[in-house]
C-alpha cells in the first residue's frame, strides 16, 4: 500500500520527496493540525430556557387547579348524587313503656312524701314548738305569685316556642290561572311545615298537601326569612300529609346554621289530659304565630281508611284554617294540627293527630315510600269477646271502600281477618304494620273468618294492593 506522507526516506536516510502516480510531488501537509474543542455553554440562553420551563409548569398547575375546582362540584353531583339520595331516614321506635307514666310519677312522689312526712314528724316530736308551727303556717298563708312571677312563666313558654321556630317553615304554593275575562293572575296558598330530617343532600319537611298538591311552584321560607324552591317527594292521600324536599345546595350556609330538625316526642303517654302545650306554626292562620293551652282529650279515634289515628283536642282557640304542630314544654313535637275532623261547634278549637301514630308514615314518606292502599275500616276485638269464645281472635272489618282491592278480593263487612300471608293477626295495629311493609302492586293472601248461620267459616282471599286514590 502506498504511503501518502509528503516525504519519504531512502535506505541511506535521506529525505525523498513524495510523488503521486504521475511523478508529481505531493503537497506538504505537515503544517495542518486538528484539535477538537467542546462547544461553549451559553449561560444566558440556558437560564432563559430554565425560567421559561418553570413558568410554564406554574401556569399549567394553576390551570389544572382552576379546572378541578370548577368541575369538582359538577362531578360530585353526577357521581355522588345517587349515593346521597339513598340516605335513609329513620326515627327511633317507641312504646308506652318507654314513657314515664303519670301514675309512676304520682306513686314516687307519694312515697317520697310519706318518707319525708315520717322524718319530719320525728323531728317535730323532738324540737318543733307550737310557736314554730304558727310561724310556718303564717309563712305558707302569705305565699302568693306577683305579676312579675306570671310574666316570668310566660317568658319561659315564649322561649320554648321561639326555639321551636328554628324547625318551622312556611310552605307557599303558587299557581298561575286566568279569570273570566282571560286575564292571568297568580293564586297562592300557604301552610306551615316542620323540618323532620336533614340529610347530606336534602332537607325534608312535613306539611299538609291539601293546599299545595296542584301547585306549579312551591317555595319554602325558613325562620331567617330566606327561601328556597321545593318539590313534593311523597304524599299520603289518606291523611293528606306529605314530605317536601329542598336541595341543600339551594340553602345558604347562614340558613343551614340556623335551621334544625325537630325532635319528635310521643303521644303514647298515659293521661295527657291537662298537660300544658304550645301550638306553633300558624295556629291563628298567620305564619310564625303561637298559642298556649292544654290538652283536653285524647280519646277520639279517626275513622280513616287503612289507618288508626287518634286525635288530641286542646282548649286553644284558633283559626279554622290553622296549620302547624303541638309541642310540649320540652319543645318536642307531640301532634300534627288538623282541623278537618273537628265536630260542629268546635271549628275554632285546635285539634291534632298524635305524633306517635304517624311516625312510621313520616319515616316512609321521607324515604319516598307511599303506603299501599287496601281499602278497609277495621277495629280491634275486645279481649273478653275472644276469651269467652263469642268471636274469633283477629281484626274486625267495619267497612269496605267501594272499588278498593279489599272489595275486589271478596272481603266483606263483618269478616274477621286472622292472618296476612300466613302470619297471625291479633290487632289492627299489627295488621297495618304488615300492610305498610308491602308496596303497591304486591299481592297478599288474607285468611278470614266469616259468620254463617251456624258458626264462623274460614276463607282464604287474595288482593293486589294499589296506590291510594286522591281525595
Give the C-alpha separation, 115 to 112, whole Å.
5
Residue where a domain stops, chosen among 258, 288, 309: 258
Which neighbouring-strand residues pair with 234?
A: 243
Q: Is residue 254 situated within a structural domain? A: yes
170 and 209, same domain (yes or no):
yes
What's the pLDDT at 421?
94
Tell me: do 174 and 243 sit in the same domain: yes
Q: What is the pLDDT of residue 241?
A: 94
Regarding whether 355 and 391 lie in a shared domain, the answer is no
- Looking at the structure, tell me whether residues 225 and 304 fall in a common domain: no
What's the total number of domains in the chain?
3
- Residue 305 sits in the same domain as residue 355: yes
Position 57 scores a pLDDT of 73
Is 457 inside any structural domain? yes
What per-residue confidence (pLDDT) applies to 27? 59
Indicate which CATH number applies to the domain containing 188: 2.40.10.10
CA distances from residue 128 to 123, 131, 134, 140, 236 in whole angstroms, order as listed: 7, 8, 10, 17, 67
Residue 388, pLDDT score: 84
d(CA 320, CA 217): 25
Residues 6 or more apart from 471 whose CB is under 8 A from it? 237, 240
The CATH code of the domain that includes 409 is 2.30.42.10
pLDDT tens for each residue of the chain, 471 residues long: 444 444 455 555 555 555 656 666 665 555 555 555 555 656 666 667 777 777 677 777 777 777 766 766 555 555 444 444 457 777 776 654 444 444 443 444 555 555 555 555 555 555 556 767 777 677 667 767 788 888 888 899 999 999 999 999 999 988 777 666 666 666 778 899 999 999 999 999 999 998 887 788 999 999 999 999 999 999 999 999 999 999 999 999 999 999 999 999 998 877 788 999 999 999 998 888 999 999 999 888 888 999 989 999 999 999 988 999 999 999 999 999 999 988 888 889 999 999 999 999 999 999 999 999 999 999 999 989 888 888 899 999 999 999 999 999 999 999 999 999 999 999 999 999 999 999 999 999 999 999 988 888 999 999 999 998 887
Classify residue 82: in a domain, yes or no: no
Q: What is the pLDDT of residue 220?
A: 93
Give φ, ψ of 309 to 5 degrees.
Answer: -115, 145
Cell of 334: 307531640
Determine phi and psi for 246, rounding to 5 degrees: -120, 130
Show the domain range for 323. 276-366
Residue 96's φ and ψ, nearest 5 degrees, are: -60, -35
User: Nearest to residue 434, comparing CAs of 395, 397, 387?
Assistant: 395
Name the domain boundary from 343, 366, 389.
366
User: Is 49 inside a domain boundary?
Assistant: no
Q: What is the pLDDT of residue 268?
A: 84
Residue 391 lies in a domain: yes
Q: Are residues 254 and 335 in the same domain?
A: no
In a domain, 109, yes or no: no
Assess if residue 111 is contained within a domain: no
Amino acid at each position: 500500500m502506498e504511503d501518502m506522507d509528503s516525504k519519504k526516506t531512502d535506505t541511506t536516510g535521506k529525505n525523498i520527496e513524495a510523488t503521486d502516480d504521475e511523478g508529481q510531488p505531493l503537497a506538504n501537509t505537515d503544517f495542518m493540525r486538528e484539535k477538537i474543542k467542546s462547544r461553549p455553554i451559553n449561560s444566558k440562553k440556558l437560564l432563559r430556557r430554565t425560567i421559561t420551563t418553570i413558568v410554564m409548569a406554574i401556569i399549567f398547575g394553576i390551570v389544572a387547579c382552576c379546572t378541578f375546582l370548577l368541575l369538582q362540584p359538577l362531578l360530585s353531583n353526577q357521581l355522588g348524587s345517587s349515593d346521597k339520595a339513598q340516605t335513609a331516614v329513620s326515627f327511633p321506635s317507641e312504646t308506652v313503656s318507654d314513657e314515664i307514666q303519670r301514675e309512676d310519677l304520682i306513686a314516687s312522689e307519694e312515697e317520697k312524701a310519706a318518707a319525708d312526712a315520717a322524718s319530719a314528724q320525728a323531728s317535730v316530736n323532738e324540737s318543733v314548738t307550737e310557736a314554730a308551727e304558727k310561724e310556718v303556717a303564717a309563712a305558707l298563708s302569705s305565699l302568693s305569685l306577683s305579676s312579675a312571677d306570671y310574666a316570668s312563666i310566660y317568658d319561659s313558654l315564649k322561649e320554648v316556642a321561639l326555639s321551636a321556630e328554628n324547625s318551622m317553615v312556611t310552605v307557599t304554593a303558587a299557581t298561575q290561572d286566568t279569570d273570566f275575562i282571560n286575564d292571568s293572575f297568580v293564586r297562592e296558598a300557604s301552610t306551615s311545615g316542620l323540618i323532620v330530617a336533614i340529610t347530606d343532600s336534602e332537607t325534608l319537611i312535613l306539611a299538609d298537601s291539601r293546599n299545595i298538591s296542584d301547585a306549579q311552584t312551591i317555595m319554602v321560607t325558613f325562620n331567617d326569612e330566606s327561601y328556597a324552591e321545593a318539590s313534593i317527594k311523597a304524599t299520603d292521600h289518606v291523611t293528606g300529609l306529605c314530605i317536601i324536599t329542598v336541595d341543600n345546595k339551594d340553602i345558604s350556609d347562614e340558613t343551614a346554621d340556623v335551621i334544625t330538625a325537630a325532635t319528635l316526642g310521643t303521644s303514647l303517654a298515659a293521661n295527657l289530659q291537662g298537660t300544658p302545650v304550645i301550638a306553633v306554626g300558624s295556629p291563628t292562620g298567620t305564619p310564625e304565630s303561637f298559642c298556649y293551652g292544654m290538652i283536653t282529650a285524647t280519646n277520639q279515634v279517626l275513622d280513616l281508611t287503612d289507618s288508626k289515628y287518634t286525635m288530641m283536642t286542646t282548649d286553644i282557640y284558633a283559626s279554622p284554617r290553622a296549620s302547624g304542630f303541638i309541642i310540649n314544654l320540652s319543645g318536642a313535637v307531640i301532634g300534627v294540627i288538623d282541623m278537618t275532623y273537628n265536630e260542629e261547634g268546635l271549628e275554632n278549637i285546635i285539634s291534632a293527630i298524635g305524633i306517635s301514630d304517624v311516625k312510621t308514615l313520616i319515616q316512609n314518606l321521607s324515604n319516598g315510600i307511599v303506603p299501599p292502599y287496601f281499602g278497609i275500616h277495621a277495629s280491634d276485638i275486645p279481649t273478653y269477646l275472644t276469651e269467652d269464645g263469642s268471636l274469633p281472635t283477629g281484626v274486625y272489618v267495619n267497612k269496605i271502600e267501594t272499588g278498593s282491592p279489599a272489595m275486589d278480593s271478596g272481603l266483606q263487612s263483618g269478616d274477621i281477618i286472622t292472618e296476612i300471608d300466613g302470619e297471625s293477626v291479633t290487632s289492627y295495629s299489627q295488621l297495618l304494620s304488615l300492610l305498610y311493609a308491602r308496596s303497591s302492586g304486591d299481592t297478599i293472601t288474607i285468611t278470614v273468618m266469616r259468620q254463617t248461620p251456624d258458626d264462623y267459616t274460614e276463607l282464604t282471599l287474595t288482593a293486589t294492593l294499589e296506590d291510594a286514590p286522591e281525595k
